[in-house]
Amino acid sequence: MNHYRAVCVHLSYTCLVSLFLCCININGAMAQRRDTTVTNQSRNTSRMPPRTMQKPLAPTVQPRVQDRRPPSEQLADRRWTIKRKLVQNMLARYNYYFNARKKLHAITHNVSRQGLDNYNYLLPFYPYSLQNLGLSKGDLDTVIEKASINIQIHDPRSKWIDDSYLIIGQAYFYQGEWDKANRTFAFINTKFAPKKKNEYKTVVGASAEDQISIASREKRKPPIGYFKHTYARNDAFVWRAKTLLEEKEFDEARSIMNILEHDPYFPKRLQGELAEVKAYSLYKQERFAEAIAPMQMALKSKNNRDEKARMSYILGQLYTNYHKPDSALLMFRKVISTKPDPMMEFQARIQIAKLEGTMEGGSLDQSLARLKKMARKEKYIAFRDAIYYTMANLVMTKDQELAMEYLRKSLRVESDNPVQKALSFKAIADIYYGQRQYRLARDFYDSTSGVMPPEFQDSGIVNLRKRVLSDVVVRVEAIQKEDSLQRIAAMPESDRQIFLEKMAANIRKEAEEKAKKAQADKNNTEEGNGVANNPFSNNMANNSLGPKKDDQGDWYFYNTTTKASGYSEFKKRWGNRPLSDNWRRSQTGTVAVNQPLQAEDENGNPLGEPAKPAVPADSATARSLAAGLPLTPDDLLKSNVIVEDALYDLGKLYNDKLDNTELAIETYDTLLRRYPQHPHKTEVVYSLYLWHTKLGHTTLANKYKQNVMTLGDSKFASIIKYGGLEDVDKGKKKEISAAYDKVYMAYLDCNYYGALDLKKAADSAFGLNFMTPKFDLLEAMIIMKTDTCEFGRQAVANVLNKYQQDEAVHEKAAALMEALDNRAALVVYLSRLEIDKVKEDNKVVDENISFRYPWQNPQPQFALDSVKIKTAMADSIKLALNAAAPVQPLPAPKKPVTLYKINENNPHFVVFAFNRVSKALMEEGLKEFTKYNAEKHKADNIQVANFVLTQDEVMLIFRLFPNEGKALEYYDEIRIGAEKIVPRIRPSDYTMFIISRDNFILMNSTKDIQGYKKFFDDNYVTQ
C-alpha cells in the first residue's frame, strides 16, 4: 500500500509539472504574438517625423545596493502564487531533502553493533547501541549539511521545510548529540505549530472535546487523503520523546506520551511508533511486564521484516520469563515465519526446543534428540557450539558431569562467535564455583574475560570473580596446606615416618615417569614432529626462494645459530607449546601447577614464614618432607595464625566482594569454633549479627547481638547501643557536622555525584563516627536518585538492618522503603493524573488546571495477565479468569503527622513559600533576592535557590544561617522590605518562615508544609 501510494504521489507531481510547462509554453506563444503586433504597428508609424528631445548634461547613476540576505529570506518577500508554490515544493522535495533522506536511510539501515547479540539474555530493544553506533560522523554531517542547504535556498513557506528540520534532528539523534536533537525537535514544535491567519502569536496546544491537544491535525480521508502531505511536527513529538529517553528524562518523556495517547488529533499513522517508544521507555526502565502490551501494539504496525522478527523474539523471551510457555512458543514460531537472518532463526528454534523440553507435558529426551539431529545437519554446522551449550543447560540441574561434557564439546568445535565461546567458558566456571573448586573456577573466569566482547552481559560478574577468586584461592589453599601439615604432625611418630616414606616414594616415582615422558617428547619433537610445531624451524632450507647457505644475512630467521638458541630458550621457559593463537593461556579446565603457591595477604606479603627452597622431586625423602611440619609449639602457633588470618579474610571476601552471605557466615562460624579467642572476635561476632539480620534470621541475630554487648565496651557495642560511635571531642564533632552539611547541601542542589564524592571523602577522613548512620542514609538517598530502583532498595535495606537502634535514621529509612515497595501504585497514580477545568473550591494555579486523584475517579489496576492480546488459548483462559477478579481502587493517603522540634543551635533556612504555582513569580523572586543579597549581604554569602516540595508547593530557600538568631534577623529584614525588594509579587502570593535543618529534612520527607506552618505560627512571634 505504501509503495502504491508513493507511485501515485510521484505521478501526480509529474502531471502537475507537465501542466506547468504547458502553461509556460502557451504564455510564451501569446507573448511572441503580442510582440509581432507591436512590431507591425511601429512600422506603420515609422514614416512620421522623429521627435527631438534635449539630451541631459550628466547622466544620473543610482547606486545599486547588494542584498546579502539568504535566498530563503529573499523568497519570503515575494508573493506566494500557485506557480511559485508548485516550483518551490517540487524543488524543496526532490533536490537536497530527497538526497539527505536517502543518505540517512542508507546509513541507519546498514548500521550494525560491534559484536553479536547474546540470545541467552533479553535482547537489547534495538539492534544497535546508540552510545556506540559505529556510524560515520562525516556521513551524518553530510546529511545535516544537505538538509540545512535545502532550508536556506528555498522558500520558507514550502511544506517540505519542516521535514528538512526533522532530518537534521534525526541525524543529531544518531550522532548521540541528544541536546541538539532535543532542541531541534522542540523548535519544530513551536515554529510549525498550526496558527490561524488572524492570530499574531502561535499558541501551542488547544482544548478539543474537553481534552488537551498539541498535535497538528491531518485530514487524510481516503482516497485523496492518502496523497496529502503529512506534518513533520507530529513525527517530531515522537522523536523528542525518544531523545528524552536516551537522556534518561523518563518523566518528561512520559508526560509527552501521555498527552499524545489521548490527543484526538494525533494521527493514526504514528500510533504504532508511539507504542514502540512507550514500550522502549518501559523496557529501558526494566519494567518488562508493563512493556508487553505496547510491544504487541507496535508489532502490528511493523512492516520491516528484521524489526518485526526482533520484537517477536523479545516478546517470546518476556513470555518465557513470566512462565507463559504457550505465548512464548507462538512468538518464537512467528519469528521463524518472518524468515529473519540465520542466527535469529536458529536461536528461535533453540528456544522452542528448550521450552518443549522444560514445560509441563514436554519431554527432555525428545528435545535432546531434536538438538542432536540439528547438530548433524549441514545447515547448522556453524551453530554447533550453541547447540551443545543449549543441551548442557537442559541437563545442568540433573547431571552436571554430562553438562560439562556438552560444554567441552561446545568449546572444541570451530566457531567464530566470541559471545558463545564466552558463555561456554562461563558456564564451566559457574559449575566449578558452585562446587567450591575456586582455582578451576578462577581459570575459567580468566578464559571468559579473554574472549568476551566489551558488551558481554555478565562482564562485571566475570571480572569481579576472576579478581576476587585469586585472593580466595590463596587463602583456601593456605588453609588446606596448614591443615594437612598439622594433621600429619599430629600422627604418632612411627605412623608419621611410614606415611612420609610412602609419600616420598610416590613423589620420586612420579618424577621419574615425568622425566621419561619429557625425554620421549623431546626426541619425537627433534626427529619429526618438532619441525612441524616449531615456529622457529628453518622451513626455507630446501626452498629455492629462501636464502642460500653461503648467504650471511643479519636477519634473525636467516641466522641458523641464533634461531636455534632462541628456540631452546623458548622451550626451556614455556615448554613444548603448539603453534596456535593464545598459546600463553590454557584453553582447558585443568591447569597444571608445577610450582608450590606461597600464601600471600592483600598486599602481596607472604603469610607466615617465607617458603623454603623446594627439594627436587627425584630427591624427596621422608626427612626432607618432615622439615616443613609444625612439630614444635612455635611452629604450630605460626601455622594456626596463618589459618586464623585466612579464615578472617575469607569471611570478608565472601560477603563484601562475592555477595555470598551464607558462605561468609559458615566461614566465621568455623573461625569461632576453631579459634574462640581470635583477636578480632568482637568484629567477627558483630559481622555475624549483621549478616543474620540481613538474611532475616532474627533468633540468631539477637543471639550475636547479645554476645557483642557482653564482650565489653567496644566501638561495635557503641554502634548497636547508640546508633554510632559516642565521640567526646567537641571540635571533632563540629568538623564532622560541617562535613555532613556540605554533603547534604550538595544533595539539595541535585549535585548527586559531587555529594557522593564528599561522602566518601568524609568516610576516609573521619572513619566510623557518631554521624555515620546519617551519612549512610544520605548515601542511600543519593543512590536512589542516581541508580536503578533495585540498587536503591538494597542501599536502604542495608541502612535498615545496620541501624535498628537509631530511631530517627531507622524511621526515615523505613519511610523510603515503604515508598519503594509502593512504587507500582505511585507509578499508576502519576500516570493516570487527569486534567480538568478549575472548579470553585479548588486551588488556583497559573496554568488553570487541577489534578484529579485516583480515589476521586476509581480505576482498576491492570496486571500483566489482564492485557488483552491475541495469544495462545491457554494464556487467554488465564487472562480471562484474572480479569474477572475485582480490584480495589487505591486508598486516599492519610495526612502525615510530623513532630517538629525547636533547636536553636541547629543550622537554619529562611523560606519564601509561594501560595500559587507560578514560574514567572519564582524567577522574579530568585532574580531580585539574588541582587539584594549581593548588595546588602555580600560578606554573609547567603545563597538563594528555588525548591519544589510538591507539585503545588514551590518556594525560595535562603541558606545557610548558623543558628536561629541569625535566621530571625534576616527573616525580619526581608519580611519588612519585601514590598520594595520584589514589588511585583503581592503579599498575598507568598508566606515566609524560618526552619531548622532537621525540621526541613522532616518536612521534605513528609511533604507536610501546612503542619510546619502551624508549628511556626504557634512557636514564633512574627508581628
Q: Within this chain, do residues 772 and 796 fall inside the same structural domain, yes or no?
A: yes
The confidence score (pLDDT) of residue 12 equals: 55
The confidence score (pLDDT) of residue 316 equals: 92
Domain-located, residue 64: no
3-class DSSP assignment, residue 540: coil
Specify the range with the lowest mean pLDDT, choosing from 96-105, 835-844, 970-979: 835-844
DSSP letters, 872-903, are -HHHHHHHHHHHHS--PPPPPPPPP-------
Whole-number Å distance between alpha carbons of 1016 and 995: 8
pLDDT higher than threshold 60 for residue 539: no
Strand partners for 912: 956, 992
pLDDT higher than threshold 80 for residue 14: no
pLDDT higher than threshold 70 for residue 845: no
The confidence score (pLDDT) of residue 881 equals: 40
- Sorting pLDDT into bands at 50, 70 and 90, what band is 532? very low
The pLDDT of 196-209, averaged and rounded, is 62
Which grid coordinates belong to 282? 518501559
Q: Is the dihedral of CA 903, 907, 912, 916 positive or negative?
A: negative
Q: Within this chain, do residues 735 and 718 fall inside the same structural domain, yes or no?
A: no
3-class DSSP assignment, residue 612: coil
Which residue range forms the structural domain that includes residue 716? 655-722
Give how many domains the chain has, as a whole number.
5
The confidence score (pLDDT) of residue 734 equals: 80
The answer to whether 680 touches 708, Cβ cutoff 8 Å, is no
In this predicted model, what pLDDT tens digit does every residue of 555-581 receive, in sequence order?
545 555 556 566 656 654 555 555 555
Which of 136-140, 372-376, 806-810, 872-876 tops mean pLDDT?
A: 372-376
Label residues 121-152 b or e (16+ Cβ within 10 Å = b).
ebbbbeebebeebebeeeebebbbebbbebbe
Q: Within this chain, do residues 1007 and 922 fall inside the same structural domain, yes or no?
A: yes
Q: Within this chain, do residues 687 and 756 fall inside the same structural domain, yes or no?
A: no
The confidence score (pLDDT) of residue 286 equals: 86
Q: Within this chain, do residues 757 and 717 fall inside the same structural domain, yes or no?
A: no
Specify the range with the lowest mean pLDDT, choosing from 216-220, 732-736, 857-861, 1017-1021: 857-861
The pLDDT of 591-611, averaged and rounded, is 41
Q: Within this chain, do residues 662 and 760 fall inside the same structural domain, yes or no?
A: no
**Which has more confidence, 66 or 385?**
385
Q: Within this chain, do residues 967 and 914 fall inside the same structural domain, yes or no?
A: yes
3-class DSSP assignment, residue 751: coil
> Last residue of a domain, which of 476, 493, 519?
519
Query: What amino acid is encoded at 169 in this protein?
Result: G
The answer to whether 299 touches 308, Cβ cutoff 8 Å, is yes
CATH number at residue 777: 1.25.40
The confidence score (pLDDT) of residue 207 equals: 61
Label residues 456-489 b or e (16+ Cβ within 10 Å = b).
bbbbebbbebbebbebbbbbbbbbebbeebbebb
- Sorting pLDDT into bands at 50, 70 and 90, what band is 679? confident
Domain-located, residue 459: yes
Crossing angle of helices 823-831/807-821, nearest 10°?
60
Whole-number Å distance between alpha carbons of 520 and 568: 16
Exposed, middle or buried: residue 785 (CB in 10 Å: 0-12, 13-18, 19+)? middle
The answer to whether 942 touches 885, Cβ cutoff 8 Å, is no
Main-chain phi, psi angles of 899, to 5 degrees: -95, 100
Which grid coordinates belong to 253? 518523556
The pLDDT of 499-507, averaged and rounded, is 84
Q: Is the dihedral of CA 800, 805, 809, 811 positive or negative?
A: positive
Q: Within this chain, do residues 685 and 750 fall inside the same structural domain, yes or no?
A: no
The confidence score (pLDDT) of residue 825 equals: 64
Q: Within this chain, do residues 675 and 758 fall inside the same structural domain, yes or no?
A: no
The answer for residues whose C-beta is within 8 angstroms of residue 965's C-beta and 6 or more apart is: 904
- Sorting pLDDT into bands at 50, 70 and 90, what band is 875? very low
- Sorting pLDDT into bands at 50, 70 and 90, what band is 550? very low
The confidence score (pLDDT) of residue 1021 equals: 66
**Which has more confidence, 334 or 837?**
334
Q: Within this chain, do residues 777 and 754 fall inside the same structural domain, yes or no?
A: yes
Domain-located, residue 249: no
Which grid coordinates belong to 53? 528631445
pLDDT higher than threshold 90 for residue 169: yes
Query: What amino acid is encoded at 271 in this protein?
Result: Q
pLDDT higher than threshold 80 for residue 57: no
3-class DSSP assignment, residue 558: helix
* Closest CA relative to residue 964, chosen from 993, 943, 1007: 993
* Closest CA relative to residue 249, chosen from 165, 308, 182: 182
The confidence score (pLDDT) of residue 858 equals: 40
Whole-number Å distance between alpha carbons of 136 and 151: 23
Which grid coordinates belong to 161? 521545510
Q: Within this chain, do residues 753 and 780 fall inside the same structural domain, yes or no?
A: yes
Whole-number Å distance between alpha carbons of 322 and 250: 25
3-class DSSP assignment, residue 955: strand
Whole-number Å distance between alpha carbons of 448 and 461: 11
The confidence score (pLDDT) of residue 574 equals: 57
Whole-number Å distance between alpha carbons of 503 and 510: 11
In this predicted model, what pLDDT tens digit does every residue of 967-1019 receive, in sequence order?
888 988 888 888 888 888 888 788 899 999 888 888 877 778 888 888 888 88
Which of 117-126, 190-199, 306-315 tops mean pLDDT?
A: 306-315
Q: Kindly provide the residue ranges of all beta strands, DSSP E only, lying in 192-264, ordered along the sequence.
A: 206-208, 211-213
The pLDDT of 941-957, averaged and rounded, is 83
In this predicted model, what pLDDT tens digit does every residue of 420-477 receive, in sequence order?
888 999 999 999 988 888 889 999 999 998 888 877 878 888 888 888 888 888 888 8
CATH number at residue 960: 3.30.70
- Sorting pLDDT into bands at 50, 70 and 90, what band is 920? confident
- Sorting pLDDT into bands at 50, 70 and 90, what band is 183? very high
Which of 536-545, 657-666, 869-878 tops mean pLDDT?
A: 657-666
The confidence score (pLDDT) of residue 418 equals: 85
Which grid coordinates belong to 836? 480538568
Count of all residues that appear for the chain in the document: 1023
The pLDDT of 276-298, averaged and rounded, is 91
Name the average pLDDT for the chain: 75
> Last residue of a domain, which of 821, 852, 882?
821
- Sorting pLDDT into bands at 50, 70 and 90, what band is 595? very low
3-class DSSP assignment, residue 48: coil
**Which has more confidence, 51 or 187?**
187
The confidence score (pLDDT) of residue 180 equals: 92
Domain-located, residue 738: yes
The confidence score (pLDDT) of residue 62 equals: 63
Other beta carbons within 10 Å of 577:
12
Q: Within this chain, do residues 697 and 752 fall inside the same structural domain, yes or no?
A: no
Crossing angle of helices 418-434/400-412, nearest 10°?
150
pLDDT higher than threshold 50 for residue 42: no
Domain-located, residue 917: yes
* Closest CA relative to residue 118, chosen from 388, 393, 458, 541: 458
Q: Is the peptide bond before 893 cis (omega within 30 degrees of 0)?
A: no
Whole-number Å distance between alpha carbons of 811 and 770: 17
> Last residue of a domain, which of 698, 722, 746?
722
Measured at the CA of 955, the angle between CA 247 and CA 1002, to 5 degrees, comes to 90
Domain-located, residue 386: no
Whole-number Å distance between alpha carbons of 3 and 286: 37
Domain-located, residue 476: yes
Domain-located, residue 134: no
Specify the range with the lowest mean pLDDT, choosing from 52-61, 364-373, 842-851: 842-851
Q: Dihedral of the CA atoms 719, 724, 727, 730 (nearest 10)?
A: -170
In this predicted model, what pLDDT tens digit does every residue of 388-423 receive, in sequence order?
888 888 888 888 889 899 899 889 888 888 888 889
